[in-house]
């Protein structure tokens, strides 16, 4: 039996809570073989980002060619891409290698406020990546930046999701964690016009570093395992909700979530009799 394969194209987080480190942990826990293409090296910990060192487009392209020409992939996700030339290379290789299950996490700003995407590169995300995305997974500030909308309500989230589809994405998950009231609610908007709300009890925790990376990685892992998008998104919501609730409390700032909680709680995968918590 061939093991499902998932590729992360993102930055390296020296603190291990976000970026390719979080993605590879998530892939492994969800029993998916993970490969990685590093776009930037960051110096960071739970207190913040102190440095960003982007690779060249040629270095990113070489990694993509090495992985995709030999190992291939069943899904891919993007995270921190930083600048327009890197985005252009990634989009080119996604097209060249025919990657259909592409999850775009439009990472823009770190928890501490450090920019992880140059402002002038936002247009490249809209014009080059969104038309290739099976699903895009912005939080509210990212959705506002991509759509030009102000998002304050659930109705606004639905409108933003529809606008992201008009921009080329085949589906969008608008994450509502920044809403001030109610449960942590995310909205999946699909190309057929259907909408699915995914809710979890809001966890009062400062240990939420890397939640977006982990969520999008879990979607990519589910897709690699053959799940349909709604099922993959539901899996990801359950995975990250548990990881936040069971955060290990590492570091003096915004600590990481617990990627091992899924195993520690005995959770399985759809189709294998799992009882998600």
Annotated active-site positions, please?
175, 208, 210-213
| Residue 254 near residue 206 (C-beta atoms within 8 A) | yes
d(CA 259, CA 27) in angstroms, rounded, equals 10
d(CA 223, CA 263) in angstroms, rounded, equals 19
| Residue 208 near residue 111 (C-beta atoms within 8 A) | yes
| Residue 212 near residue 107 (C-beta atoms within 8 A) | yes
| Residue 154 near residue 183 (C-beta atoms within 8 A) | no
Q: Which residues contact 96 (CB under 8 A, 6 or more apart)?
A: none
Length in residues, the chain:
277
- According to DSSP, the residues that pair with 190 across neighbouring strands are 171
d(CA 161, CA 55) in angstroms, rounded, equals 32
From the number of C-beta atoms within 10 Å of its C-beta (0-12, 13-18, 19+), residue 192 rates as exposed
Tokens 């194209």 -> residue: 9
| Residue 32 near residue 3 (C-beta atoms within 8 A) | yes
């Amino acid at each position: 039996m061939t093991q499902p394969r998932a590729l992360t194209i993102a930055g390296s987080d020296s603190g291990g809570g976000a970026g390719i480190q979080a993605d590879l942990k998530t892939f492994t826990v969800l029993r998916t073989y993970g490969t990685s293409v590093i776009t930037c090296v960051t110096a960071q910990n739970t207190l913040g980002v102190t440095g960003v060192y982007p690779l060249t487009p040629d270095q990113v392209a070489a990694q993509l060619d090495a992985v995709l020409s030999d190992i291939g992939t069943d899904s891919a996700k993007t995270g921190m891409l930083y600048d327009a030339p890197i985005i252009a290379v990634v989009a080119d290789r996604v097209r060249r290698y025919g990657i259909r299950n592409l999850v775009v996490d439009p990472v823009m700003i770190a928890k501490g406020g450090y920019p992880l995407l140059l402002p002038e590169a936002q247009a490249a995300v809209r014009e080059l990546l969104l038309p290739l995305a099976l699903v895009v997974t912005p939080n509210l500030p990212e959705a506002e930046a991509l759509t030009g909308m102000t998002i304050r309500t659930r109705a606004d989230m639905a409108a933003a999701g529809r606008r992201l589809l008009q921009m080329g994405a085949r589906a969008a998950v608008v994450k509502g964690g920044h809403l001030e009231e109610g449960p942590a609610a995310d909205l999946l908007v699909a190309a057929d016009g259907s909408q699915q709300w995914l809710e979890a009890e809001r966890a009062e925790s400062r240990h939420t570093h890397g939640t977006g990376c982990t969520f999008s990685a879990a979607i990519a892992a589910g897709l690699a395992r053959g799940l349909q998008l709604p099922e993959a998104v539901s899996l990801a919501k359950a995975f990250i909700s548990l990881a936040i609730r069971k955060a290990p409390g590492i570091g003096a700032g915004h600590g990481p979530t617990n990627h091992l909680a899924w195993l520690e709680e005995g959770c399985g995968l759809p189709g294998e009799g799992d009882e998600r918590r």
